[in-house]
Amino acid sequence: MNWIKGIVKFWKTIQIVLIYFLSILLVYFMFPREGNFRYEYSKNTPWKHENLVAPFDFPIYKTEERVQQERDSLLNNAPLYFTHDSLISNAILTSFNADYNAMAASLGIGATVTDSWTLTGRVIASMLEEIYEQGIIERHPVLDGLRPEETPVMVVRDGLAEEQLLSAFYTGPSAYQHILRDIEGIYPGSLAILDRMNLNDYLRPNTLYDEAMTLNVRQATAEQLVLTQGMVQAGELIIARGELVSGRQLLIIESLRREIESNPNVEKNYLV
């Protein structure tokens, strides 16, 4: 009877100890454990075990090297994104017209502007409008080393992205030469008037590199990379005893091991 009294005396302590051990067991069974792949093997050596048959359907995983190569290829070929900013062109055209009229007024021409001044102003404004509509590309370091005639870029205009070759855009210098060449052909006397203005002040990039969008698209592209290359069906022979562990068979064995070690329930359901 003394032992019964002892149990009663320490019953609360016993309860606490039991609850503690039950909690440990519960946590142990609740949390996933790694499965155990019971086969030992080495690359380019004979398979020493019995014939290995797929116990269940599972995917064939690409090697880490191949995944990295495909990821690098996707990122290297992903297009650069630029944004066409129409506000810049509007501001430049407004500024040019105001400065041109102010210069005419400062020269004493005022209301009696000659035909040559009127024509020159209209022609330059029209050229600037055409140039900015096509776009002056920002000379960002990301473009260094790229061949414009072979490099497609994505340009976002009014929320819509369109692919265009880099060579389709003006640079500051090419826009400057375009105006000088064309205006001389239209009205030779315009060059003398144009010399009074600094044309480069009205040639600023309006097609700007969007680094954030480029990185977001590249990240989304990388996340779509497929990590597998086919499936193995349950019951399919993977490798026979004595066969060399290499090539596709090695890839399948590695894929099976990966499935088993990443899924603690597999080993319970299949004798692998």
Read off the tokens for 30: 């609740």
pLDDT of residue 249 exceeding 80, the answer is yes
> Which of 56, 109, 25, 20 lies closest to 265, judged by CA?
56
Which position has the higher pLDDT, 7 or 100? 100
Which position has the higher pLDDT, 182 or 136? 136
Count Cβ atoms below 10 Å from residue 251 Cβ, excluding itself: 17
**pLDDT range class, residue 183, cuts 50, 70, 90:** confident
Range name among 55-64, 65-74, 164-173, 188-197 with the lowest pLDDT average? 188-197
pLDDT of residue 165 exceeding 90, the answer is yes
> Which of 186, 168, 179 lies closest to 201, judged by CA?
179
Per-residue model confidence (pLDDT) at position 15: 58
Distance from C-alpha of 16 to C-alpha of 27, rounded to nearest angstrom: 17
**pLDDT range class, residue 30, cuts 50, 70, 90:** very low
Per-residue model confidence (pLDDT) at position 103: 80
pLDDT of residue 32 exceeding 50, the answer is no
Per-residue model confidence (pLDDT) at position 197: 80
Please state, rounded to an integer, the average pLDDT across all residues of the chain.
82
Range name among 15-29, 115-129, 157-171, 193-207 with the lowest pLDDT average? 15-29
Count Cβ atoms below 10 Å from residue 175 Cβ, excluding itself: 26
**Mean of the pLDDT values across residues 129-133?**
95
pLDDT of residue 117 exceeding 60, the answer is yes
Strands 80-84 and 152-157: parallel
Per-residue model confidence (pLDDT) at position 1: 52
Report pLDDT digits (tens) over 220-245: 888 888 999 999 999 999 999 999 98
Report pLDDT digits (tens) over 43-54: 899 999 999 999
**Mean of the pLDDT values across residues 169-177?**
94
Per-residue model confidence (pLDDT) at position 4: 55
Per-residue model confidence (pLDDT) at position 162: 94
> Which of 251, 250, 260 lies closest to 55, judged by CA?
260
**Mean of the pLDDT values across residues 96-115?**
71
Per-residue model confidence (pLDDT) at position 29: 45
Per-residue model confidence (pLDDT) at position 33: 47
Per-residue model confidence (pLDDT) at position 186: 67
- Helix/strand/coil (H, E, C) string of 2-55? HHHHHHHHCHHHHHHHHHHHHHHHHHHHHCCCCCCCCCCCCCCCECCCCCEECC
